[in-house]
Chains A and B, each alone.
Chain A
Amino acid sequence: NAGVTQTPKFRILKIGQSMTLQCTQDMNHNYMYWYRQDPGMGLKLIYYSVGAGITDKGEVPNGYNVSRSTTEDFPLRLELAAPSQTSVYFCASSSTSGVGNIQYFGAGTRLSVL
């Protein structure tokens, strides 16, 4: 049972570079989410998706983009990386049926922008 898989685990970017954080889930969940977590802080929602082809902004979307072409994958794109984007990024997914509303998280991607 892989659950939610995120790659890479660690990355260092230079200011102005771009990258894509990958997230895939094998639980056939419709809902997927991207959060960021800064030291000593809770998780803040960046973007979310309720199904393939449908995405929407969360609390802190500036500087990020997402796409959802399949149920399984929900990549997060950083364009023109800035030091303020140094953080730990978590992807999560949840089901719309059964024991609903429980979000399952990946292990995170630790990103430093220098």
Chain B
Amino acid sequence: EDQVTQSPEALRLQEGESSSLNCSYTVSGLRGLFWYRQDPGKGPEFLFTLYSAGEEKEKERLKATLTKKESFLHITAPKPEDSATYLCAFLTGSARQLTFGSGTQLTVLP
């Protein structure tokens, strides 16, 4: 069965303390791995799509990478405004449905 697991469930960092979030997946024929950011009380906001192992994408302090079994979201020198829940998901189905992990709740302390 296709599934995605995110770790850790929660992460507290000091401002400037770099770290990585993990997304492990088991999918027969990956068609896309997505990262979303979700702020409290809001809907998920798209960050990145990765399609093949070895691919990397960057946006400000965030960099997403993809291997054949995992994706990582690296956060470099985070700021308090990076605090949010980060969700990963993979694409499946003929209607391009997303299957989501349970997310990592990131808190960056000033």
A residues with CB within 8 A of B: 4, 31, 33, 35, 40-45, 48-50, 56, 58, 90, 92, 94, 100-108
Contact = CB atoms under 8 A, between A and B. Distances in A.
B46 A43 contact: no
B42 A31 contact: no
Contact of A102 (B9, B31, B46, B95): B46
Interface string B40-54: 011111100100000
23 contacts: A4-B43, A40-B102, A42-B89, A42-B100, A42-B102, A42-B103, A43-B87, A43-B89, A45-B98, A48-B95, A48-B97, A50-B94, A50-B95, A58-B97, A90-B44, A100-B96, A101-B34, A101-B49, A102-B49, A103-B96, A104-B46, A105-B44, A108-B41
Interface residues on B, range: 20 to 34
Interface of B: 9, 31-32, 34, 41-46, 49, 87, 89, 91, 94-103
Contacts of B43: 4, 90, 92, 105-108
User: What does DSSP make chain A's interface, helix, strand, loop or mixed?
Assistant: strand
User: What does DSSP make chain B's interface, helix, strand, loop or mixed?
Assistant: loop
Contacts of B44: 43, 90, 105
A17 B27 CA distance: 39
A92 B31 CA distance: 19
Contacts of A49: 95
Contacts of A108: 41-43
A103 B23 CA distance: 19
Contacts of A31: 95-96
A50 B103 CA distance: 27
Contact of B91 (A58, A90, A101, A107): A101
A101 B96 contact: yes
